Structure 1
Amino acid sequence: MLERLKAMLIKEFIQVLRDPRMRFVVFVIPAVQTVIFGYAVNTDVRHVATAIYDLDNSSYSRELAGRFLKSGYFDLEERVSTDARARELVDRGKVKLVLRMNHGFGERLSQGRPAEAQLILDGSDSNTAGIALSYAAKIAASYTAELQADALARAAGAPQTGLPSVELASRAWYNENLESRNFYVPAVITNIVFIITMLLSSMAVVREKEIGTIEQVIVTPIGKGEFILGKTIPFVLIGFIDVGLIALVASFWFDVPLRGSIPLLFGATALFLMSSLGIGLLISTISRTQQQAMMSAFFVIFPAMLLSGFAFPIENMPTVVQWMTYLNPIRFFLVIIRAIFLKGVGMEILWPQFLALFVLGGVILSGAILRFKKTLA
């Protein structure tokens, strides 16, 4: 029994390690991924893109804004002067928080009365919004304590009728109750469609090789482009069906609002499928067995999901890793799908993401087709 087990173990090790590409997949790629994930997987929220809307422009309002920016949690994106500009920045996702101080903010504090500063949060990212709100509350509380201590020191024992304080009035847009499921459920559509369509397409060509029918395809009159289309169109239809089903579940079961255009959602899905199917076909053309294709697909899936902004803010990642995420189609589709569901914005806002998906999808799919031609040569 032990001898048979030993022989089986030797055979399996030889089977796995005799292919140089499989050795690379098994040993090198996990080490590289560990290094990347060690930097990228960070749940701390820092460098929150912030806009300052200071209508008072007093020493008090400037001091409060300065404390926000010096805290290390908030990065100034722009100082705005109109409500329209503040809304535009939030709509486009350029800022996650707007700090607004109205006229009379400094006057009320100088008179020893409470003054209100408004926080406008992008609630479509409930995790970041909730943590940013707690940071802002601590900054306001610290500023209030210093103002009150200064007021007491100046009074030198004289009776006080009131003490200055800063009160934050927060308002979350697009996800008023900061429910995390409104943030994560739309993203599930992206991950499920990516995983299913990429896994299916990664088996498409390699299955023909493994069962020995690829030679029959070579000698038939069918063109290589036609062969690729025949392999991918079924998966495209499956992707559309999955998007529709999951969108129905998200809307009617989880009560996630779908405020945007449904045709726009399916248009973005079509562009996204160009990338997912292209990656799958590329894996299929360079793999010799379905086992290799499956393992290679999973080594693509997990980095793509973790480096997409699905769970961890991209802004928290090192600059080099942030640049790497621009090669990830999930990053752009996540922005689109969350904006369509929660913000209800259209092409005038989302065109950069649509363009990025079109370019990535075209390059990846073209590379897969070219590689397929070389394989058949």
Structure 2
Amino acid sequence: MLRRKISNIYRLGVKELWSLWRDPIMLGLILFVFTFSVYSSATSMPETLHNAPLAIVDEDNSQLSQRIVAAFYPPEFLPPIMIDQSQVDPGMDAGEYTFALIIPAGFQRDVLAGRRAEIQLNTDATRMTQAFTGSGFIQQVVLGEINAFVQGYRGTAASPVELEMRARFNPTLDKSWFGALSQIINQIAMLSIILAGAALIREREHGTIEHLLVMPVTPGEIMLSKIWSTGLVVLLASALSLNLIVRWALQVPVAGSLWLFFTGAALVLFATTSLGIFMATMARNMPQFGMLMVLVMMPLQMLSGGSTPFESMPEPVQFVMQAAPTTHFVKLGSAILFRGAGIDVVWPQFAALIIIGMALFVGSFMRFRSTITQMA
């Protein structure tokens, strides 16, 4: 009896894989989210200052102004464009550069004489995030060059206390490292829900669910077949993405054990695929399922700790999100991939995923069996 059940689950899962193979839209979605989406999310983090166009009007032509000009270089800024005062407004109106720094005549003389010296920074605020970050960064650069020039050396006065910063796990503070790995964590949860739910709705729309009802299979076998086939596809796609896109194309190192990470991914897939099947039983067609996806995935991704620190959220939100599998997956994924944590560190998240997965599976199974019975 057990052998026949396992055989049924295996053959039904193979059928799901063949159905997915014949669905070019779903295959295109899988390819997109684990290649281009991961790469673009890592290389275009909106809060970073990268290759910002900068124009400088140097009316002073002094040693100090030349030091300020030379202080702006890639990768934060493109090489500065030297322009005249009359070119500032037309250039910014045309969007040719985000920042325009104007150094007036006599600037170095006023600085050395201790008089009030002014320097003007024009910013294109339509590029909001880059403008906000870049304005503060430019001010720091200019003030640093002025202080170094006045003191006669690059540095500050001796202090009895020296603060030394050491960045662990990401020594270069490269935000693409965090963006690439976080995107894979988010996409595993999102794609598993979509594939599992779409598989059930596709059978309902094509009428093949009625064929399954007359076969000697149980609702549990049908549901388990969809879970293992969907989970296998997402695991393989995420493994290829992690190795080809993240580690090879982006050169992002992985600190911990990939086997441990994908074990945790398998647990979260068990929970999210069950959730996808539950949502599919609530929706009558794919458009309704898509609307449910928006209502479910937005909170799961935004409040799980992958986009913003979990500790900064209100305590009621933290309490509610403890029941979400993505919250624990983000914690264990970050701990393993970024900090090289072992099972002794992430076992609470593994235990939580097992409990949440079993609860979602039981709830989804009861709903799925009820739906199947009504159709019969």
Look up the SS of the partner of 1:170 in the other structure: coil
**Which residue does the alignment assign to 2:182?**
187
**Which residue does the alignment assign to 1:206?**
201
**Matching residue within 344, 351, 354 for 1:358:** 354
**Matching residue within 310, 327, 333 for 1:314:** 310
**Matching residue within 337, 341, 349 for 2:337:** 341
Q: Distance in 2 between matches of 1:335 and 1:213?
A: 39
Deviation per residue, 1:204-245 (Å, 9 max, x gap): 222222233333322221111111122222211111112211
Q: Distance in 1 between matches of 2:364 and 2:288?
A: 17
Q: Given that residues 265 and 337 in structure 1 are in contact (C-alpha distance below 8 angstroms), is that contact kept between their aligned partners in structure 2?
A: yes
Letter in 2 for 1:295: M
Instruction: Compute the TM-score of the two structures, normalised by the length of structure 1.
Output: 0.55
> Any unmatched runs of 5+ in structure 1?
1-42, 44-130, 135-161
**Which residue does the alignment assign to 1:269?**
265
Look up the SS of the partner of 1:193 in the other structure: helix
> In the alignment, is residue 244 of structure 1 matched against residue 239 of structure 2?
yes
Q: Distance in 1 between matches of 2:187 and 2:270?
A: 15
**Which residue does the alignment assign to 2:15?**
none
Residue 294 of structure 1 deviates from its aligned partner by 1.9
Q: Distance in 2 between matches of 1:314 and 1:368?
A: 28
| Distance change (3 Å), C-alpha of 1:247 and 1:221 | same
Q: Given that residues 331 and 349 in structure 2 are in contact (C-alpha distance below 8 angstroms), is that contact kept between their aligned partners in structure 1?
A: yes
Letter in 2 for 1:281: I
Residue 163 of structure 1 deviates from its aligned partner by 8.2
Q: Given that residues 236 and 273 in structure 1 are in contact (C-alpha distance below 8 angstroms), is that contact kept between their aligned partners in structure 2?
A: yes
> In the alignment, is residue 226 of structure 1 matched against residue 243 of structure 2?
no
Residue 167 of structure 1 deviates from its aligned partner by 2.5
Look up the SS of the partner of 1:172 in the other structure: coil
Residue 165 of structure 1 deviates from its aligned partner by 4.2
Identical residues among aligned pairs (%) = 32
Q: Distance in 2 between matches of 1:294 and 1:277?
A: 15
Structure ranking higher in strand proportion? 1
Instruction: Compute the TM-score of the two structures, normalised by the length of structure 2.
Output: 0.55
**Matching residue within 292, 298, 302 for 1:302:** 298
Residue 172 of structure 1 deviates from its aligned partner by 1.6
Residue 359 of structure 1 deviates from its aligned partner by 1.1
**RMSD over aligned Cα, in angstroms?**
2.2
**Which residue does the alignment assign to 1:287?**
283
What is the total number of aligned residue pairs between the two structures?
219
Q: Distance in 2 between matches of 1:218 and 1:363?
A: 25
Residue 164 of structure 1 deviates from its aligned partner by 6.1
Letter in 2 for 1:370: M
> In the alignment, is residue 176 of structure 1 matched against residue 171 of structure 2?
yes
Q: Distance in 2 between matches of 1:163 and 1:306?
A: 45
